Amino acid sequence: MTTTITPLIAGNWKMNGVRASLDELTALAGILTTGDAPRAIVVVCPPATILAAVARQGATSGILAGGQDCHPAAHGAYTGDIAAGMLADAGAQYVIVGHSERRAAHGETDDLVRSKAEAAIGAGLKPIICVGETEAERDSGRAESVVAAQLAGSIPDAAGQHDVIIAYEPVWAIGTGRTPSNDDIAQMHNSIRRQLVDRFGDKGQGIHILYGGSLKPQNAREILALDNVNGGLVGGASLLAKDFATIISAV
């Protein structure tokens, strides 16, 4: 069965900008609403302090908002954390979970990532579940098995009934200007697709698999055209409206 997936391009602003980023959002909205409508679902995941502003501003231009992380609990004594329901209240429709910067710096395990994804689904959000191997894991020929284990542990069973998005981000490609070869990206995305179909059947055919890691205006067209690459998770290049718009139009 062939399932058509509308590509999705998500920008992860990480801990960058605030006021300047809102100006970029205005510029992006201007570009996206001029000329042909984008062929992709466009999501921006800003710092939490401006999430509501991004959701409000994006509503008029079709740009959707997402959080960058959520806590697995719905509420409680968790100083500094944010619940999925709070992101939804602020206007988010998506939330990134298990980004390698959190897996590494905060010791997040697959179990925790899965709990966060379950919390996101419970709050009506679509979790963007990140997986990816380190350079040492790739060099030792273990990239596919590492990613397979992360997928098995991080995706909740609820993904059989609800929308989740997978983002494959080789850790060594993030913010480095380096990317895997097109063949390596396609091989990994095909392997992820097989695993999703094995576990979720037809539903697995329709799950977005995004590529992330130094996705730039210069390489977006060829990477986004690869087999089973259904969009991208963009870091640095999502901070400038012109660059992000070029990636969106590369779909």
Residue set of the binding site = 12-14, 175, 214, 235-236
Residue with CB nearest ligand G3H? Answer: 235
Q: Where are the beta strands (DSSP E) in 39-84?
A: 41-45, 63-67
Indicate which single residue of 159, 215, 224, 245 sits in contact with ligand G3H (rule: CB under 6 A): 215
Q: Does 234 bind ligand G3H (CB under 6 A)?
A: yes
Q: Which of 71, 99, 189, 208 is catalytic?
A: 99
Distance of alpha carbon 8 from alpha carbon 251, whole angstroms: 9
- Touching ligand G3H, residues 95-114 (CB under 6 A): 99
- Touching ligand G3H, residues 7-26 (CB under 6 A): 12
Q: Does 169 bind ligand G3H (CB under 6 A)?
A: yes
- Touching ligand G3H, residues 66-95 (CB under 6 A): none
CA-to-CA dists, residue 205 to 1, 36, 61, 62, 187, angstroms: 8, 28, 29, 25, 16
Distance of alpha carbon 101 from alpha carbon 97, whole angstroms: 10
- In the residue annotation, 24 being an active-site residue is answered as no
Piece of 29-37, 113-121, 184-192, 233-241 that binds ligand G3H (CB under 6 A): 233-241
Which is nearest to 209 in space by CA: 232, 176, 177?
A: 232
- In the residue annotation, 118 being an active-site residue is answered as no
Residue with tokens 């501003």: 57
| Minimal distance, residue 96 CB to ligand G3H, in Å | 7
Please check whether residue 6 is in contact with residue 223, taking contact to mean a CB–CB distance below 8 angstroms: no
| 199 vs 216, beta carbon nearer ligand G3H | 216
Which is nearest to 11 in space by CA: 173, 251, 231?
A: 231
Q: Does 233 bind ligand G3H (CB under 6 A)?
A: yes
List of residues 6+ apart from 177 with CB closer than 8 A:
214, 216
Enzyme catalytic residues: 99, 169
The contact set with ligand G3H (CB under 6 A) reads 12, 99, 169, 174-175, 212-215, 233-237
